[in-house]
Amino acid sequence: MTPQASTLEQWVDRYMNFLVVEKGLADHSVAAYAGDLRQFLNFLKSHCIDSFAHADTAAILKYIIELRSTGRGPKTRARHLIAVRGLFQYLRQMGHLSTNAAKLIDLPKGGLKLPEVLTVQEMERLVDAPDRKSPRGKRDAAMLETIYAAGLRVSELVALTLSAVNLESGFVRVLGKGDKERIVPLGQRAMGALADYFGAGRPVLLKQVASRYAFTAWGGNPMTRQGFGKLLRKYTLQAGIHKRVTPHSLRHSFASHLLEGGADLRSVQLMLGHADIATTQIYTHVAQKRLIEIHRKYHPRG
């Protein structure tokens, strides 16, 4: 191995360590980045590029074109480009590069799938679907209100403990990816549903069985992701929503509705628990699409 090639790989190793230690990315995410960047390094070596400073925009674009020529779809090519962008941004922050040449290349069309979101009216119908007079209905309503109010991943929702929910201050403490903790507001509707469930629903479901989890199934066991998915499909039908609604759709809706309402991207990033604001930026496409529709409908020359 040449000294130059060694330097390339050493920088990638440092970046991987940065993702683990500083960004707190999960092991599978780091492994995916490492695999994509390994292919990028092989491309550089095969084209006799021995320094990242020599990997200009034209070289990176050629790499993306080669990926397409080998049958890689737009989503895969976008993922590779995002990996290279992240590496180059790190190299720039470390003073190894003066610019991020990868930022000048647009993501392949169709590479980032716009998230399926519910309208505000559809979301209201969905959270109102459970029968809030029954213990199960109280639980289900509280789960739907909470996942939407706080923009939780389904894994975060089912893992919530009683001690993580603070109804007095109106916040929920969430343990996200990479064991990173964040505090997210709940809002009045979710707080009301949770108070009703904790007071009159959860004790009936537990039947004097102790459990540390906020949302329980029979026997005090925590609700599972699969269990919540089944409940969501049931209430989607009841609400008359003719879309493929998944737990992640509710998280998408949370982010999109905030941005449409005027929230800044940085605040939404913090509430979602994204390590990189670039991950949050996909939601701006949804908000922009909605703005375009409003402009066309209401502007005299739209």
Q: Which residues are catalytic?
A: 153, 177, 248, 251, 274, 283
For residue 216, list its beta bridge partners. Answer: 222
The DSSP letter of residue 273 is T
DSSP string, 187-224: -HHHHHHHHHIIIIIHHHHHTT---SBSSB-GGGPBPP
Locate the DSSP E strands across the chain.
Answer: 165-166, 171-175, 181-185
Class of residue 3 by CB neighbours under 10 A (exposed 0-12, middle 13-18, buried 19+)? exposed
Non-local CB neighbours of 212 within 8 Å, separated by 6+ positions: 161, 162, 163
Q: What is the sign, positive or negative, of the torsion defined by CA atoms of 20, 12, 114, 76?
A: negative
End-to-end alpha carbon distance in the chain: 60
Beta partners for residue 181, in sequence order: 175
Distance CA(277)–CA(89), nearest Å, equals 13
The CA-atom distances, in angstroms, between 286 and each of 83, 91, 126 are 23, 31, 20
Alpha-carbon gap, residue 165 to 143, rounded angstroms: 12
